[in-house]
């Protein structure tokens, strides 16, 4: 078969299509500077759980050739890529629109560009400038240091985006993704304090749930709709809608407090700090939007209403403080794509306000489910709108309710007391997924893609041809290759195909790209699936999990290497089990939006052994001359053995693709579907959301890793090299939206892959991929960075980039 090489370029080239905003780029660079990520590597792929051996990747990376081969960049080594940059990349990839909108508006203000450019010149890289920039940056860190990162670059909103980019919007329900705040902070190069701000807001929306100290579980947007619905209900019960009206009226009247001060809710009532927590405030703030007719809330009004009872609002300082907090919350919500900043004109002038972009109407259906998750508990009453009379009462009630967290949350909190031990979560934990798509690592970066499931259940798939799809899944993991025979189209079919090829434009030249297909989802939902939008029921259904399984394992976390190792093992051991078990319809998760798939399917998928879900794409530049091929990640060792020189020790199933094939696709991770149709939906949810279906990770190659399958299990303990550390970013895959910009690519193999090893493929494979990173991640985690504490604490290591 012919293999054409897909150069990264090819992949990347598409990226051009995206416009890169200057900002982004800039930001990226700058960001890099800022955050130097010390070690990105770590991030564990989301789904680390799988035992599957991943391998190759690391190996490849390791291969000198690969890494170095690409001369292009020095960056390879150096670059500290900016997390942000990746993010941006992702975003842009996902949906330019979104990016533009939100990013520009809020997050990235045009400013950033400063230096980016410079880098570019050097950068040879064909593709992405970004990398280049990164490279330079790396080199220049110091310079960078000089320059301070603009404030914007350090903004909470941007940070939040980075954070969100680390995880999939719709993680497989069963396999929770474990989040270590320390790791996140380290990865993002910020102090923990900042992460708390983000996490608290995310927790209020149940995007994350607290497990224990320093430990959170990532739920993504799966519960978001339900949560919002619940909040809406609660908001009505509380009478917020009335307050809003009042506020608006009063607004005109004067700054007086709209709300009565009586409420004692959370703040005072609890007495606890927690009551005043950002979490509570965030929920209230969101409630205001959800009950507002205009869906627009001014900061002033919100502050007043939220000041609640406690102090008289009169205290100006209180007000100011409240407003500050609201900005913090608003930044996070903006990053989530739930609100956007606007200005409302009033007599006096314009006041800052935020408009709700998220869903406002929820299906009842959702309710049931939602309620479960949510704290619905509290609310005794139906949520009827209250009359003004009731307001007071309502408020009173409200307080109480406020205090209560959503059930889940509450529960979690309880756990919090639990040992923080990193144990994995039940499902799987993943560690940080890494995501930034790009990592500069240069060529070495590995991208992982998850494919979502496509319509069919088949596990495999990653590369099936359409026709093949229909066929029974290939049993074995290994694929063969596809060769040219495959048409690009076949390879990637957006809509139909189950798999997406997610490509991040950002990757400038990844030497290796991993494609990952989520094992499970058999069915994909073509349509909405990905959409960020929440809510529609459809969505939910769709969402389902894709690869639930993957996650299972994982996690990795920062725990000590040993632990991780153990965990890994355990996981791996368990994986098989888990997978199966999970397979069982995990549905519990409730409405998953993404895929309509049934659980059953899932189960099926699980059952099916074979296809590899992940493929490793090796660009020709990688050193394999002209070969472009995809290696199945899951694979068993059997696959092919590459020539030593090129790739030492790899034995993998692989698929060869004509470069052309890939070239067509811009890498997209997914595109967001632009679904524009829905109003708000289109909005962007943050990247992660988009990615949901497909996830991919990009990482630097782990040098240390061996390709061996085992890898998954045994993480490499030490990734010492900075590079390694840096690596992974995971990007989430976006859902492919058929229509959307994103391109989904489905890869099909004419021949279904022949699987050598049936088993692994699927989930395991995926896991493996993730794991690999995870492995690294573990190492990473090991990295000292972690917390510093105290006032002194803060400054992370950031300053010291690990970079080599």
Q: Which residues contact DNA (rule: CB under 7 A)?
A: 106, 109-111, 150-152, 154-157, 181-182, 190-194, 196, 199-200, 212-215, 271-274, 276-279, 299, 317-318, 320-321, 323-325, 327-328, 330-331, 341, 343, 352, 416-420, 787, 789-795
Measured between alpha carbons, how far apart are the two ends of the chain, in Å?
40
111 vs 377, which CB is nearer to DNA? 111
Q: Which of 186, 254, 181 is nearest to 216 (CA)?
A: 181
273 vs 345, which CB is nearer to DNA? 273
108 vs 492, which CB is nearer to DNA? 108
Smallest gap from Cβ 257 to DNA, in A, equals: 16
Smallest gap from Cβ 794 to DNA, in A, equals: 5
For CA atoms 752, 755, 760, 766, the dihedral sign is: negative
212 vs 655, which CB is nearer to DNA? 212
Q: Are strands 696-699 and 729-731 parallel, antiparallel or unpaired?
A: antiparallel
Measured CA to CA, the distance from residue 721 to residue 355 in angstroms comes to 45
420 vs 580, which CB is nearer to DNA? 420
Measured CA to CA, the distance from residue 618 to residue 103 in angstroms comes to 32
Smallest gap from Cβ 797 to DNA, in A, equals: 13
The SS3 call for residue 656 is strand
429 vs 647, which CB is nearer to DNA? 429
Instruction: Quickly count: other Cβ atoms within 10 Å of residue 643's Cβ.
Output: 10
Phi (first) and psi of residue 350, to 5 degrees? -105, 150
Smallest gap from Cβ 299 to DNA, in A, equals: 6
Burial 185-216 (b: 16+ CB within 10 A, else e): bbbbbbbbebbebbbbbbbbbbbbbbbbebbb
104 vs 487, which CB is nearer to DNA? 104
Smallest gap from Cβ 784 to DNA, in A, equals: 12
Tell me if 343 sits within 8 A of 298, measured CB to CB: no
Instruction: Quickly count: other Cβ atoms within 10 Å of residue 83's Cβ.
Output: 34
Phi (first) and psi of residue 304, to 5 degrees? -65, -45
Q: Which helix (H) or strand (E) holds 25?
A: helix 22-34
Smallest gap from Cβ 533 to DNA, in A, equals: 25
Smallest gap from Cβ 153 to DNA, in A, equals: 8
Smallest gap from Cβ 148 to DNA, in A, equals: 8
Q: Which of 530, 500, 495, 670 is nearest to 94 (CA)?
A: 670
Torsion of CA 764, 765, 766, 767, to 10 degrees: 50
558 vs 773, which CB is nearer to DNA? 558
149 vs 653, which CB is nearer to DNA? 149
Q: Which of 701, 662, 313 is nearest to 502 (CA)?
A: 662
Measured CA to CA, the distance from residue 79 to residue 441 in angstroms comes to 6
Burial 609-631 (b: 16+ CB within 10 A, else e): bbbbbbbbbbbbbbbbeebbbbb
341 vs 569, which CB is nearer to DNA? 341
100 vs 328, which CB is nearer to DNA? 328
What are the helix (H) ranges across 177-277? 181-188, 192-204, 224-238, 240-253, 273-276
117 vs 196, which CB is nearer to DNA? 196
Contacts of 563 (CB under 8 A, 6+ apart): 422
Q: Residue 104 gets which letter from DSSP?
A: I
23 vs 550, which CB is nearer to DNA? 23
Smallest gap from Cβ 262 to DNA, in A, equals: 18
Smallest gap from Cβ 90 to DNA, in A, equals: 20
382 vs 792, which CB is nearer to DNA? 792
274 vs 487, which CB is nearer to DNA? 274
Measured CA to CA, the distance from residue 390 to residue 591 in angstroms comes to 34
Measured CA to CA, the distance from residue 548 to residue 135 in angstroms comes to 36
List C-alpha distances in Å: 329 to 24, 152, 326, 335, 767: 23, 16, 5, 10, 34
215 vs 712, which CB is nearer to DNA? 215
Tell me if 648 sits within 8 A of 496, measured CB to CB: no
306 vs 462, which CB is nearer to DNA? 306
Smallest gap from Cβ 781 to DNA, in A, equals: 13
Smallest gap from Cβ 790 to DNA, in A, equals: 6
Q: Which of 270, 276, 266 is nearest to 322 (CA)?
A: 276
Tell me if 720 sits within 8 A of 461, measured CB to CB: no
Q: Find the largest Cα–Cα distance for the chain.
A: 80
Q: Which of 523, 539, 693 is nearest to 599 (CA)?
A: 523
318 vs 569, which CB is nearer to DNA? 318
Question: Based on the number of CB atoms within 10 Å of its own CB, is 158 exposed (0-12), middle (13-18) or buried (19 or more)?
Answer: buried
Strands (E), 619-734: 629-632, 640-641, 651-652, 654-656, 696-699, 729-731
Smallest gap from Cβ 273 to DNA, in A, equals: 4
CA 123, chain centre distance (Å): 28
Contacts of 653 (CB under 8 A, 6+ apart): 476, 477, 478, 479, 480, 612, 631, 632, 634, 635, 636, 638, 639, 640, 753, 754, 755, 756, 757
What does 10-75 look like in DSSP terms, one character per residue?
HHHHHHHHSPPPHHHHHHHHHHHHHS--S--TTPPPTTTT------HHHHHHHSHHHHHH-TT-TH
Measured CA to CA, the distance from residue 421 to residue 519 in angstroms comes to 29
């Amino acid at each position: 078969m012919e293999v054409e090489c897909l150069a990264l370029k090819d992949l990347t080239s598409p990226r051009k299509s995206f416009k890169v905003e200057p900002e982004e780029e800039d930001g990226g660079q700058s960001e890099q500077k800022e955050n130097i990520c010390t070690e990105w590597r770590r991030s564990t792929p989301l789904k680390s759980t799988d035992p599957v051996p991943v391998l190759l990747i690391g190996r490849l990376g390791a291969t000198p050739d690969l890494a170095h081969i690409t001369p292009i960049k020095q960056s390879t080594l150096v670059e500290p890529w900016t997390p942000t940059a990746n993010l941006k990349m992702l975003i842009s990839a996902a949906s330019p629109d979104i990016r533009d909108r939100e990013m520009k508006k809020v997050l990235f203000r045009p400013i950033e560009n400063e230096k980016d450019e410079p880098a570019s010149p050097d950068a040879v890289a064909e593709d992405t400038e970004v990398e280049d920039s990164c490279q330079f940056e790396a080199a220049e860190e110091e310079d960078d240091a000089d320059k301070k990162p603009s404030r914007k670059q350090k903004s909470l909103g941007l940070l939040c985006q980075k954070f969100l980019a680390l995880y999939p919007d719709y993680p497989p329900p069963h396999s929770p993704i474990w989040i270590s705040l320390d790791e996140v902070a380290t990865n993002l190069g910020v102090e923990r304090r900042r992460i708390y701000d983000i996490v608290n807001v995310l927790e209020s929306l149940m995007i994350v749930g607290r497990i224990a100290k320093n430990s959170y579980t990532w739920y993504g947007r799966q519960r978001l709709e339900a949560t919002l619905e619940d909040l809406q209900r609660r908001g009505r019960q509380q009478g917020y809608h009335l307050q809003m009206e009042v506020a608006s009226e009063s607004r005109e009247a004067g700054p007086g407090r709209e709300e009565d001060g009586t409420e004692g809710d959370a703040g005072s009532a609890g007495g606890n700090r927690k009551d005043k927590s950002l979490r509570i405030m965030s929920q209230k703030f969101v409630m205001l939007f959800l009950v507002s007719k205009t869906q627009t809330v001014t900061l002033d009004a919100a502050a007043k209403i939220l000041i609640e009872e406690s102090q008289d609002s009169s205290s100006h300082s209180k007000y100011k403080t409240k407003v500050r907090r609201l900005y913090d919350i608003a930044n996070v919500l903006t990053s989530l794509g739930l609100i956007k900043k606007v200005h409302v004109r009033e007599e006096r002038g314009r006041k800052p306000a935020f408009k709700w972009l998220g869903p406002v109407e929820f299906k009842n259906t959702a309710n049931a489910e939602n309620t479960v998750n949510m704290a619905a508990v509290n609310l005794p009453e139906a949520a009827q709108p209250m009359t003004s009379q009731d307001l007071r009462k309502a408020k009173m009630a409200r307080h109480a309710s406020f205090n209560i967290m959503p059930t889940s949350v509450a529960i979690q909190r309880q756990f919090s007391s639990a040992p923080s031990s990193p144990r994995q979560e039940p499902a799987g934990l993943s560690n940080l997924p890494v995501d930034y798509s790009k990592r500069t690592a240069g060529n070495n970066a590995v991208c992982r893609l998850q494919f979502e499931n496509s319509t069919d259940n088949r596990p495999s798939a990653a590369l099936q041809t359409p026709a093949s799809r229909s066929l029974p899944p290939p049993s074995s993991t290994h694929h063969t290759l596809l060769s040219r025979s495959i048409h690009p189209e076949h390879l990637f079919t957006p809509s139909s195909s189950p798999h997406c090829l997610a490509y991040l434009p950002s990757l400038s030249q990844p030497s290796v790209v991993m494609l990952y297909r989520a094992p499970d989802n058999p069915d994909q939902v073509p349509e909405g699936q990905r959409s960020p939008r929440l809510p529609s029921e459809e969505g939910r259904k769709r969402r389902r999990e894709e690869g639930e399984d993957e996650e299972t394992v994982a996690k990795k976390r920062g725990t000590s290497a040993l632990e991780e190792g153990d965990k890994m093992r355990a996981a791996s051991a368990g994986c098989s089990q888990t997978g199966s078990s999970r397979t069982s319809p995990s549905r519990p998760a409730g409405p998953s939006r993404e895929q309509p798939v049934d659980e059953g399917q899932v189960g099926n998928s699980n059952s099916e052994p074979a296809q590899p879900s992940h493929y490793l794409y090796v660009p020709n530049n990688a050193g394999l001359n002209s070969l472009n091929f995809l290696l199945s990640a899951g694979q068993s060792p059997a696959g092919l053995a590459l020539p030593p020189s090129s790739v030492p020790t790899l034995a993998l199933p692989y698929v060869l693709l004509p470069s052309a094939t890939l070239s067509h696709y811009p890498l997209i991770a997914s595109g967001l579907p632009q679904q524009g149709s829905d109003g708000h939906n289109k909005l962007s949810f943050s990247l992660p959301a988009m990615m949901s279906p497909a996830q991919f990770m990009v990482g630097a190659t782990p040098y240390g890793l061996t390709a061996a399958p085992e890898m998954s299990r045994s993480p490499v303990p030490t990734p010492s090299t900075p590079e390694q550390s840096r690596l992974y970013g995971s990007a989430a895959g976006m859902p492919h939206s058929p229509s959307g910009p994103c391109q989904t690519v489905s890869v099909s193999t004419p021949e279904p892959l022949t699987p050598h090893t049936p088993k692994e493929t699927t989930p395991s494979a995926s896991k493996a991929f993730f794991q690999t990173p995870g492995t690294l991640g573990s190492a990473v985690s090991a990295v000292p960075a972690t917390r510093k504490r105290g006032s002194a604490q803060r400054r992370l290591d950031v300053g010291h980039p690990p970079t080599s």
